[in-house]
Amino acid sequence: MTDIVLSIDDLKVALPAWSDRKFAVGGVTLDIRQKEILCIVGESGSGKSMMGKAILGLLPAPHVRAVGGKITFEGRNLLELSDDDMRAIRGGRIAMIFQEPMTALNPLMKVGQQIEEVLEIHTTMSPARRRERVLELIRDVHLPEPERMIASYPHQLSGGQRQRVVIAMALALEPALIIADEPTTALDVTTQAQILHLIKELQRAHGTAVLFITHDFGVVAEIADRVAVMRHGEVVEQGPASQVLVSPQADYTKALVAAVPGLKPRLKELDANSNVLLRVTNLQKTYRTSSGLFGGKVREVHAAKKINLELKRESSLALVGESGSGKSTLARCIIGLESVDSGSIEIDGERISGRTRAELRPFRKHVQMVFQDPYASLNPRQRVGDIIALGPMLNGVGREQAIAEARELLHLVGLKPDAVDRFPHEFSGGQRQRIGIARALAVKPKLIVADEPVSALDVSVQKQVLELLNDLRKSFGLSMLFITHDLRVAATVCEEIAIMQRGEIVERGATAEIFATPSHPYTRSLFEAVPGREWIGSLG
Amino acid sequence: MKSGSLGSYIVRRLLQTIPVILGVVVVNFLLLQLAPGDLATVLAGEAGGAPKEYIDQLRARFGHDQPVYVQLFNYIKNLLVLDLGYSFRQSAPVLELLLMRLGPTLLLMGSTLVVSLGLGVLMGLLAALWVRTWKDHVISVAAVIVYATPLFWVGLMLVLVFSIWLDWFPTSGMENVVAFHEGWNRVVDIAHHLVLPTITLSLFYLALYARLMRASMLEQRGLDYVTTARAKGQTDRKITTRHVFRNALLPVVTMAGVQTGGLLGGSVVVEAIFAWPGLGQLAYQSLFARDYNLLLGIFFMSAVLVVIVNLIVDVIYVFLDPRIRIG
């Protein structure tokens, strides 16, 4: 076939000797055709990113190397090219878009210069002509005020804007192929929707082939022409998107598709007259930079303005919002890590806001938190048993008994009880999150505040952890405040939803009602931004 | 943001330094009260003993008979109009003595800063470029050895080898006073005297900056924006010069600012070894003579120096790093 842009033939990428498996990519064969978006889907450790890097020769040598196979691009095997030839291809014929727009740009260099660098390397354009092209590119990716934009530094732009800059850089020389490595994973949903739209628009306009690496089937449904599913460095299934998404053949693909949280709202299960556990009234919190001894500008950020919330006993409420909406601040106020400016927080009729640290201590055990990052939230030098037992011991339980309870809790969250003697680094992300949940449950709290507890996890693991939280809620009679940016997750877990935007709750109600008739424009825009919502809807 | 308010930022920072320096003065003043003996007893001792009336009379002349808080109040009152008092020991106003000694110290500090920062950054850069080769090992091991060597020992060894055995450099002083050099000849003469003290004082900081620069370069090289630059097709050489170097320099500049205070402390030792006529030597002398007025003056001057250097570093930082917002 002549319309093949890049063909990967039995590619093998070796991992260093000390890793747990021999190959990051173990014999992948793939073709990317002209004008198509090929999505590589897989969970972390599937080797999808390594494959993308291998194409451009960006593997972290010397530990990780391509050791076998062929990558044919424009008649040449990329694995055998000299450094100089490879450099001419990088940025020129094949460009790359990265996951983290926050760190992908040099913080000390103006954005315009960074885009211009590509032209400088690969062309002989005059400076004036280069500048013109940069402005043109900035307009192409729909960034506002191109003239001002090129003179800005990366830190002056938002995440979405930076990703547009990276895309402009990739487009600069109209490459034949763009490799996009999870380009929207680090962005908010609405921004993600815009960037996906942009990539698709530009891909159509320029007829570029795109290799799109992602872990999110929603994104796949949104953008892919063809799909290849990877697991443990091998392609388990590939085919047209319409086929793989609708009738997956491989068991692994089926499991992944089944793990995608649906958009089916959870219904209210409890009687309306159960009493209120958590009541937040007119809560306000403003962050100020201090003016210092001799003045200087005071900056104010209203993280929470006049927040009112109620959470009934044994129910769960999802707080949905994008980054900067104030949802985490609210959570920190509720668990007493942050003092409030005005308003009150009551738990079980007892006011906990406005208390000193010492006065707050007896109430700490009523509210516990499950944190977002399972890697950073467990002390690496403490044994799992001690991590879990510490809470009860602070509340007067003897060590023997606390450890015994920890064993039971570990069993409850689906880990082996002998995990008490092991250290956190011996566990995977999902297992660590289970430990985090066991730790929170150890003091028998009334309320669990879960701050994005699954957003750092793979979909299949995410599903398991959500199910676990659900089971525990029932068996312990817990109430839960669940903070998330993902409406899909919110829908599966909580029967009530509050949507937050810029420090305010813009809409609140039963999940089913909000899903049926979202009334606030922001809520509607969140729904529209859910990647692959039509496909998810069709899953039923 | 940068140009418009930079001036007002500097003015504000200077205003902020006033309470800092006053605090330093008060603490120093009170600390010196704790030291045993005073100028009167030292003078009396040197004269081979004196009657108590004479010592009391001396104390009254120096103002030491008054309560501590009155002395402190008077001292600060005078300080505000830059009257640092009189050194009875050296029979000259303190300010005059300080200004005379400030030049040589600034010269020594300046040349040390240039040498240690320049060579340190260069060595760190080279070590990072040659990472895990024998050249890197040579630089790194040398840096550790130098880092661990005491300053005074280095000074004495340098004098022994280069002045006494090889006779390449003078052993002490800032210039050959009996030669009466003028113009260029004088500059060359001072530079000749400057070599050994500068090397002595520089070595430690050179090693510190080299180690920091190497680590910083290696850290920056692993960051995402470097991958972006590689994906653009940029050459390794340009990636280093255009992207990594400036980013890697930032922590070194911060460290250099923090270390200025230490540099002043180190210059006391070096000035004593090489008889360099600077503030450090003066501090050393006045300490043993219990010349507290002079000592306080030197502390005051040092505090001002450190504060100003820190301000300069902060201003440089604003230009190096666009993320730093002033105000």
pLDDT band at residue A270, thresholds of 50, 70 and 90? low
The 10 Å Cβ neighbour count of residue A148 is: 12
Q: Is the CB of residue B148 less than 8 Å away from at least one CB of chain A?
A: no
Give B289-321 pLDDT, tens digit per residue: 778 888 888 888 888 888 888 888 888 888 888
Q: How far is A298 from chain B (nearest CA, A)?
A: 9
Query: Which pLDDT score is estimated for A218?
Result: 87
Q: Per-residue pLDDT for A207 more than 70?
A: yes
Q: How far is A41 from chain B (nearest CA, A)?
A: 22
Query: Which pLDDT score is estimated for B3?
Result: 46
Structure-model confidence comparison of residues B242 and A323, the more confident one? B242
Query: What ipTM score was computed for the predicted complex, to two decimals?
Result: 0.81
Q: Per-residue pLDDT for A264 more than 80?
A: no
Rounded Cα distance, B302 and B280, in Å: 10
Instruction: Tell me if A104 and B232 make a contact (CB, 8 A cut-off).
Output: no
Structure-model confidence comparison of residues A467 and B3, the more confident one? A467
**pLDDT, chain B, mean:** 84
pLDDT band at residue B52, thresholds of 50, 70 and 90? confident
Q: Is the CB of residue B233 less than 8 Å away from at least one CB of chain A?
A: yes
Question: Contacts of residue B230 in chain A, CB cutoff 8 Å?
Answer: 58, 90
Task: Say if CB B304 and CB B310 are below 8 A apart.
Answer: no
Q: How far is A59 from chain B (nearest CA, A)?
A: 10
Q: How far is A87 from chain B (nearest CA, A)?
A: 4
Query: Which pLDDT score is estimated for A349?
Result: 82
Instruction: Tell me if B12 and A90 make a contact (CB, 8 A cut-off).
Output: no
Out of A333-347, B33-47, B76-90, B193-207, pick the least confident. B33-47
Distances (CA, A) of B302 to B36, B297, B305: 23, 9, 5
Instruction: Tell me if B15 and A294 make a contact (CB, 8 A cut-off).
Output: yes
pLDDT band at residue A212, thresholds of 50, 70 and 90? very high
Residues 57..76 of A with a Cβ closer than 8 Å to B: which? 58
Strand partners, A195: none
Instruction: Tell me if B231 and A95 make a contact (CB, 8 A cut-off).
Output: yes
Q: Per-residue pLDDT for B5 more than 80?
A: no
- What is the residue range of B243's domain? 102-277
Q: How far is A27 from chain B (nearest CA, A)?
A: 24
Query: Which pLDDT score is estimated for A272?
Result: 60
Instruction: Tell me if A89 and B233 make a contact (CB, 8 A cut-off).
Output: yes
Domain boundaries, given as residue ranges, for chain A: 36-49+83-259, 276-366+445-539
Residue B108, both tokens? 């020594």
Mean pLDDT of A465-471: 87
Q: Per-residue pLDDT for B119 more than 90?
A: yes
Q: Per-residue pLDDT for B125 more than 90?
A: yes
Intrachain domains A36-49+83-259 and A276-366+445-539 with the same fold: yes
Q: Per-residue pLDDT for A359 more than 90?
A: no
**Nearest residue of chain A to residue B8 (CA atoms):** A296
Question: Contacts of residue A122 in chain B, CB cutoff 8 Å?
Answer: 233
**Nearest residue of chain A to residue B19 (CA atoms):** A293
Structure-model confidence comparison of residues A107 and B81, the more confident one? A107
Instruction: Tell me if A294 and B225 make a contact (CB, 8 A cut-off).
Output: no
Chain B interface, best mutation among A59, A106, A115, A289, by max B CB count within 10 A? A106
Q: Is the CB of residue A294 less than 8 Å away from at least one CB of chain B?
A: yes
Question: Contacts of residue B227 in chain A, CB cutoff 8 Å?
Answer: 58, 98, 104
Task: Say if CB B176 and CB B295 are below 8 A apart.
Answer: no
**With the C-alpha atoms ordered B237, A71, A30, A202, is the resulting torsion angle positive or negative?**
positive
Distance of CA B46 to the CA centre of its chain: 33
CATH topology for A36-49+83-259 is Rossmann fold (3.40.50)
Instruction: Tell me if A109 and B235 make a contact (CB, 8 A cut-off).
Output: no
Of A357, A332, A355, A329, the closest CA to residue A344 belongs to A355
Q: How far is B244 from chain A (nearest CA, A)?
A: 9
Q: How far is B29 from chain A (nearest CA, A)?
A: 25
Question: Contacts of residue A293 in chain B, CB cutoff 8 Å?
Answer: 16, 19
Amino acid at A40: I
Q: Is residue B285 part of a domain?
A: no
Instruction: Tell me if A293 and B231 make a contact (CB, 8 A cut-off).
Output: no
Using alpha carbons only, give the angle A322, A326, A332 rounded to the nearest 5 degrees: 125
Using alpha carbons only, give the angle A439, A444, A445 rounded to the nearest 5 degrees: 90
Residues 173..232 of B with a Cβ closer than 8 Å to A: which? 223-225, 227-232
Strand partners, A505: A500
Q: DSSP letters of A54-112?
A: HHHT-S-TTTSEEEEEEEEETTEEGGG--HHHHHHHBTTTEEEE-S-TTTSS-TTS-HH
Q: How far is A96 from chain B (nearest CA, A)?
A: 6
Rounded Cα distance, A429 and A281, in Å: 36
Q: How many domains does chain B have?
A: 1
Q: Is the CB of residue A32 less than 8 Å away from at least one CB of chain B?
A: no
Q: Is the CB of residue B2 less than 8 Å away from at least one CB of chain A?
A: no
The pLDDT > 70 percentage for chain B reads: 96
Q: Per-residue pLDDT for B1 more than 60?
A: no
Give B132-182 pLDDT, tens digit per residue: 899 999 999 999 998 888 888 888 888 888 888 888 888 777 777 776 777
Q: Is the CB of residue A292 less than 8 Å away from at least one CB of chain B?
A: yes
Q: How far is A291 from chain B (nearest CA, A)?
A: 9
Structure-model confidence comparison of residues A45 and B211, the more confident one? B211
Structure-model confidence comparison of residues A506 and A18, the more confident one? A506
Mean pLDDT of A23-50: 89
**Nearest residue of chain B to residue A55 (CA atoms):** B231
| Domain A276-366+445-539, CATH among 3.10.105.10, 3.30.70.1400, 2.40.50.140, 3.40.50.300 | 3.40.50.300
Query: Which pLDDT score is estimated for A57?
Result: 87
Measured between CB atoms, which of A100, A153, A297 is closest to B322? Answer: A153
Out of A36-40, A82-86, A186-190, A298-302, pick the least confident. A298-302
Eight-class DSSP state of A154: G
Strand partners, A25: A13
Q: Is residue B265 part of a domain?
A: yes
- In a 10 Å sphere around its CB, with 0-12 CB exposed, 13-18 middle and 19+ buried, how is residue A459 labelled? buried
Q: What is the 3-state secondary structure (H, E, C) of chain B?
A: CHHHHHHHHHHHHHHHHHHHHHHHHHHHHHHHHHCCCCHHHHHHHHCCCCCHHHHHHHHHHHCCCCCHHHHHHHHHHHHHCCCCCEECCCCEEHHHHHHHHHHHHHHHHHHHHHHHHHHHHHHHHHHHHCCCCHHHHHHHHHHHHHHHCCHHHHHHHHHHHHHHHCCCCCCCCCCCHHHCCCCHHHHHHHHHHHHHHHHHHHHHHHHHHHHHHHHHHHHHHCCHHHHHHHHCCCCHHHHHHHHHHHHHHHHHHHHHHHHHHHHHHHHHHHHHHHCCCCHHHHHHHHHHCCCHHHHHHHHHHHHHHHHHHHHHHHHHHHHHCCCCCCC
Q: How far is B10 from chain A (nearest CA, A)?
A: 12
Instruction: Tell me if B233 and A118 make a contact (CB, 8 A cut-off).
Output: yes
Mean pLDDT of A320-339: 86
Measured between CB atoms, which of B19, B225, B234 is closest to A104? Answer: B225
Distances (CA, A) of B129 to A516, B29, B119, B124, B240: 60, 50, 15, 9, 9
Q: Is the CB of residue A52 less than 8 Å away from at least one CB of chain B?
A: no
Instruction: Tell me if A109 and B233 make a contact (CB, 8 A cut-off).
Output: no
Structure-model confidence comparison of residues B208 and B324, the more confident one? B208
**Nearest residue of chain B to residue A116 (CA atoms):** B232
Out of A393-402, A476-485, B41-50, pick the least confident. B41-50
pLDDT band at residue B121, thresholds of 50, 70 and 90? very high
Residue B228's CATH number: 1.10.3720.10
Q: How far is A199 from chain B (nearest CA, A)?
A: 18
Q: Is the CB of residue B320 less than 8 Å away from at least one CB of chain A?
A: yes
Instruction: Tell me if A106 and B229 make a contact (CB, 8 A cut-off).
Output: yes
Mean pLDDT of B14-36: 85
Q: Is the CB of residue A134 less than 8 Å away from at least one CB of chain B?
A: no
Chain A interface, best mutation among B3, B12, B225, B237, by max A CB count within 10 A? B225
**Nearest residue of chain A to residue B318 (CA atoms):** A108
Rounded Cα distance, A81 and A57, in Å: 10
Q: Per-residue pLDDT for B50 more than 90?
A: no
Helical packing angle, B279-288 and B245-274, nearest 10° = 40
Q: Per-residue pLDDT for B32 more than 90?
A: no
Query: Which pLDDT score is estimated for B157?
Result: 86
**pLDDT, chain A, mean:** 87
Measured between CB atoms, which of B232, B243, B247 is closest to A91? Answer: B232
Mean pLDDT of A285-298: 64
